[in-house]
Structure 1
Amino acid sequence: MTRFLHDQFAKDYLEKLLQPYGEVKPSKKVSSEIREIDLLFAPTPNATQLETLGLLGRIAAIPAIIEPFRNAAPAEEICDCLLKLFQVRGELRREAKRNNASTRNSAIPKLWVLTPTASRDLLMGFGATPAHDWIDGVYFTPKTYRMAIVVIHQLPLTQETLWLRMLGRGRVQRQAINELEALPVTHPFRQATLELLYTLRQNLAAQTISEPEDRELIMRLAPLYQQDRELAKQEGELKGRVEERRQVVESLLKVRFGTLDAELATIIDSILTLPPEEFTPLLLQLSRQDLIARFGSDQ
């Protein structure tokens, strides 16, 4: 059961990261049998800022089938992934034939198997070897297969690999979470990833029987979750206070001048930069022209 929860997290996580850059089809069914691709991705033309995702962004630069594994991927299941790829390739060729068009090689997705670990025998069995222009941990099979195997626990500890190391296990995933926590709060994927991790934590905590590794993950995420909820609470309280002050300013302006027209409305944000004990007497004493002259210049 816990493996299913981690698999669902991986799908949701990859979908969230890749969604801004193209079309994502999670759990796409292929063939008459019940076979599902974990994630089928097609980048939008001229997709920009993929470098934000580092190695994952480089993977997503061309159409891709992404199959993440929670445990070390067995050879038999990698073969199943290849079968899905061949079926997708067949569908594309049949569609092109119906439209009297040729299938562009660049339109055929590349299969990326994401596995925490992989033995040398497994890699040799698929003829998977490193490429000089890719980082450690990425292995490519012969060109005909259009497949690569990413061994997550072999990836270097760099910003470029962070988003894939988040799908690792044990210390590899915990290190990735530490790096995620250290990112600026304005990073486009920091909060979205944390929210997905919190959902995973909640689902794992609901299990009556859990693995020691899952319990460690729950404990690692607990202070982050508490800190995040406290920050959200503080932000909510701050927004509430700002809204209350805005209502006070609007009410005072209406009492003084009978209405709140567009010209007065434009100075409210400038007025709110002052504390209530400073702006209240000004609103009660200054004329309309004086208020606009004083606060309108800040716009």
Structure 2
Amino acid sequence: MQKHLGAWRSLTGRERAAQAPFLWIISTGRPAAVLDGLRVTPMAGWPAGVYEGPGLLRTVVVVLGELPRERSTLLIRLMGGGRVLREAIEDLRRLPEDAPERAIAVGPLLRFRAAITGHGPATPEEEEFVMTTQELVEQFIEQGRKQGMAQGLAQSTIALYEARFGSMPPALRSAVEAMRDLSTLQKWNLLAGTGKREEVDDAFSAGAAGRSS
């Protein structure tokens, strides 16, 4: 609160018309003394677990353990600990490989895990985090392996096509490079080596249309 009020004072000192900042307090568990002391109430239009203080304080308290366990709260629940973090990591593992939440969260989680394992877990909480994220690491490795295979098949397919038919049209090249399904790429690779140009073009075009629909 002191930092919040100090930042507020500094801001208005530079620009009196500036909008006062909000303070967001994030807690894994329920900080009863803070909630009582700030006289907070459930924040209208927000999910359970989000509380706002008196208007002049411009302060919000988020109790991660009370947030609904749903996809919309996943990224902020990953900031918690204990049960909250375990459940959030489990929810993250269950998302599709191309989920935007994975792109945002997996990198920082694995970097934090690497930092812990580099010096050895120092607390029970760190040890639990390492164990909880093991399956996430395995998924990340497998995803990388599949991506590498997909890229290799895509480049092989393009090379086969151009060896037989000449330069591949840019739209078809983009379709092949964007495809990540291994079974589809294997079929395309075989077709590029054995099929007629019209058949190959139609298959690649259909694949591109399917991805965009």
TM-score range, shorter chain: 0.7 to 0.9
The residue that corresponds to 1:130 in the other structure is: 42
Instruction: Name which one, 1 or 2, has greater alpha-carbon Rg.
Output: 1
Q: 2:32 aligns with which of 95, 102, 120?
A: 120
Following superposition, the deviation at residue 297 of structure 1 comes to 5.8
With normalisation by structure 1, the TM-score equals 0.56
> Alignment partner of 1:150: what SS?
strand
Q: Distance in 2 between matches of 1:130 and 1:178?
A: 27
Deviation at 1:244, TM superposition (A): 2.1
User: Quick one: structure 1 residues 128 and 278, their matched pair in 2 at CA, closer, same or farther if it must change by over 3 Å?
Assistant: closer
State the match for 1:93 in structure 2.
12
Deviations along 1:43-67, one digit per CA (max 9) or x if unpaired, are xxxxxxxxxxxxxxxxxxxxxxxxx
Q: Percent identity of the aligned residues?
A: 24
TM-score, structure 2 as length reference: 0.75
User: 1:225 and 1:294, CA in 2 relative to 1: closer, same or farther beyond 3 A?
Assistant: closer
Change (3 A) 1:214 1:273: closer
Deviations 1:253-292 (A, max 9, x none): 35xxxxx4xxx53586599885555544556xxxxxxx4x
The structure with the largest strand share of the pair is 1
Q: Distance in 1 between matches of 2:49 and 2:26?
A: 10
For the Cα contact (< 8 Å) 2:22–2:58, is it kept in 1?
yes
What SS class does the counterpart of residue 15 from structure 2 fall into?
helix
| Alignment partner, residue 235 of structure 1 | 147
Q: Does 1:172 align with 2:84?
A: yes
2:138 pairs with 1:219: no
**Are residues 180 and 116 of structure 1, via their aligned partners in 2, closer, same or farther at CA, if it must alter by over 3 Å?**
same
- Please state which structure has a larger fraction of its residues in helix: 2
Which letter maps to 1:221? T
1:246–1:268 contact (8 Å) kept in structure 2: no
Relative contact order: is structure 1 or structure 2 higher (C-alpha 8 Å, sep ≥ 6)? 1
Structure 1 residue 192, shift from structure 2 partner: 2.3
Unaligned runs of 5+ in 2: 177-184, 206-213
> 2:169 & 2:5 partners in 1: Cα distance?
62
Alpha-carbon shift at residue 200 of structure 1 (Å): 1.2
Is the 8 Å Cα contact of residues 157 and 188 (structure 2) preserved in structure 1?
no
For residue 229 of structure 1, report the CA deviation from its aligned partner.
0.7
Unaligned runs of 5+ residues in structure 1 are 1-81, 255-259, 284-290
CA RMSD of aligned residues (A): 3.0
Relative distance call for 1:189 and 1:245 in structure 2 (3 A) is same
Match of 1:110 among 19, 22, 35: 22
Per-residue displacement from partner, 1:163-205 (whole Å, max 9, x unpaired)? 2221111111101111122223332222321121111111111
Shift of residue 113 of structure 1? Answer: 0.5
Find the counterpart in structure 2 of residue 46 from structure 1: none
- Does the 8 A contact of 1:267 with 1:296 survive in 2? no
Matched residue type, 2:106 = L
Amino acid at match of 1:265: P
CA spacing shift, 1:155–1:296, aligned 2, 3 Å: closer
Q: How many pairs are equivalent? A: 195
Over 3 Å counting, the alpha-carbon distance change for 1:235 and 1:158 in structure 2 is: closer
For 2:12 and 2:148, locate their aligned partners in 1 and report how far apart those are by CA, in whole Å. Answer: 53
1:246: Cα distance to partner? 1.5
Which stretch of structure 1 is more off in the superposition, 171-180 or 138-147? 138-147
The one-letter code matched in structure 2 to 1:123 is L
Instruction: State the partner residue of 1:142.
Output: 54
